[in-house]
Amino acid sequence: YDGWLQWELAPTRPPHLVAMLASGITANLLDRELSGVLRLGRVLEWTMNNLSVDTARRLDHPYKTRDMDESSRRFVEQDRNKWLWYLPLMDIPDESMPGMGSHWRRWLADHATDHFRFQQKASEVAVPVLGTAGWYDQQIGIFGHFTGMTQNGRTERARQNQHLIIGPWTHTLLNLDRCVGDVDFGADAQCSFYDFADAWFTRWLKEDPGPADEWPPLQLFVMGANLWRGEYEWPLARTNYTCLYLHSEGMADAHSGGGTLSEAEPGDEPQDQYVYDPRDPLMTLYTPGGQQVPLDQRALAGRRDVMIYQTPPLAEPVEVTGPIEMKLWASSSARDTDFVVKLLDVWPDGFVQELCHGIVRARYRHSFDAPSLLEPGGIYEYTIRVNPTSNQFQPGHRIRLDVTSSDFPNFDRNHNTGGDDYREDTLVAARQRIFHDRDRPSHVILPVIP
């Protein structure tokens, strides 16, 4: 994994290291395993269809295919993704992932820890770095490398020569295409990784300034407007952080017409409620390999466990670029549960484009080191970090926020028991309540760019 390996070795400062191009790698593991929630679909698919294909070859395993594409095909077509539903996850048979069983169990036992500590090691890295990623990349926490190095890099040369290129892409190195999922982002989105690499290493290995010498520190693709823009800091200094508050008459599910989002603070409003049943989770719309792409979320319409809050059609364009935060007041009948937030762009023709998401596992709401369970029925304020994005909502579009309690298998299911979800197979339904009144004004904080 070239990006991960580069950041792991860079603090050793080998004498011949001049510059790095480390793509698609988060600076903090917990910016990918959001709120300590396992990225089950991607991690299990990667373990079974990449890592264990290699270990099976080394072990001369008699049955496991030696071809990664064939392993992925069997995972979907032959096994029908059954391993994603297997309980307890800790008991998935070793034969399904030859040579990786102990690694899998170790990961489940301790994945809510940032073992690699890249951000703490920035002060030991002394070279210019270019990173590339996409807004739909699970590794969008790559921004932490940029901010960590510009603030704490070992030398002035390193601090002044950090660069990021963020397009509308998913987690990929080479397929920097204009069409991602269901969206065509225009000709400017079509890029070549090799062109980036050639310009970058020409600048630092050949000492030939070339085009890379003119690059701004950040090159960001603004979706919706479908254009590139150079920036110089993150988050953007001119950001106008704007609160949009949740409103409803107590019926925010799609069947009842949903709720609203506005800058007006709520008064006396009834709460919204739904039942989250881990036996019937909200299913993730993404690629068979477990990667995010913008797919039409109307396929999930009709679910009663998704609370929908949206603005009226916009009269003017609104650009949202930067990190996003949700302040959510909620209660649950469970001792532990999840709350998921999604930011979406609703087009005039009804197409619903997911932009980014965040999740909180209630037991980790205060700390990963000292998890604490809920008092059933107690009302708690949650701070939910939502992945950053850059999108210009066009006139006629709506800004939409969904609140639910599952996004499976992008994230593993919370069993709602308060026990060890990886060693237990009991699943319990939970009644969730979302509050948005004068005393508990649930709202999302959007980084609006004037």
Q: What is the pLDDT of residues 308-353, one digit of tens each?
A: 999 999 999 999 999 999 999 999 999 999 999 999 999 999 999 9
Q: pLDDT at position 63, please?
A: 86
One-character DSSP codes across 355-379 = EEEEEEEGGGSS-SSS-----TT-E
What tens digit of pLDDT does each residue of 380-401 get? 999 999 999 999 999 999 999 9
Instruction: Please tell me if the domain spanning 1-33+114-231 has the same topology as the one spanning 240-449.
Output: no
pLDDT tier at 288, thresholds 50, 70, 90: confident
* Average pLDDT rounded to a whole number, residues 411-435: 98
Residue 1 has pLDDT above 90, yes or no: no
Burial of 5 (0-12, 13-18, 19+ CB in 10 A): exposed
Q: pTM value?
A: 0.97
> Strands 352-361 and 398-404, how do they pair?
unpaired
Residue 23 has pLDDT above 90, yes or no: yes
Q: Three-class SS of residue 227?
A: strand
CATH number at 240-449: 2.60.120.260
CATH number at 1-33+114-231: 3.40.50.1820
Residue 256 has pLDDT above 90, yes or no: no
Q: Three-class SS of residue 276?
A: strand
What is the domain partition of the chain in residue ranges?
Answer: 1-33+114-231, 40-109, 240-449
Q: pLDDT at position 111, please?
A: 87
Query: Which two structure tokens, joined as six digits, stand for 271?
Result: 């709460």
Q: pLDDT at position 192, please?
A: 97
Residue 144 Ramachandran class (φ > 0 left, ψ -120 to 50 alpha, else beta): alpha
What tens digit of pLDDT does each residue of 151-203 get? 999 999 999 999 999 999 999 989 999 999 999 999 999 999 999 999 999 99
Rounded Cα–Cα distance for residues 389 and 65 (Å): 38
Please state, for a pLDDT cut of 70, what percent of the chain lies above it: 100
Query: Which two structure tokens, joined as six digits, stand for 245?
Result: 């508050």
Q: pLDDT at position 266, please?
A: 98
Q: pLDDT at position 388, please?
A: 98
Rounded Cα–Cα distance for residues 176 and 170 (Å): 8
Residue 258 has pLDDT above 90, yes or no: no
Q: pLDDT at position 118, please?
A: 96
Mean pLDDT of the chain: 96
Rounded Cα–Cα distance for residues 44 and 92 (Å): 10
What tens digit of pLDDT does each residue of 200-220 get? 999 999 988 899 999 999 999
* Average pLDDT rounded to a whole number, residues 12-22: 97
What tens digit of pLDDT does each residue of 34-73 get? 999 999 999 999 999 999 999 999 999 998 999 999 999 9
Burial of 423 (0-12, 13-18, 19+ CB in 10 A): middle
If residue 102 lies in a helix (H) or strand (E), which one and from where to where? helix 101-109
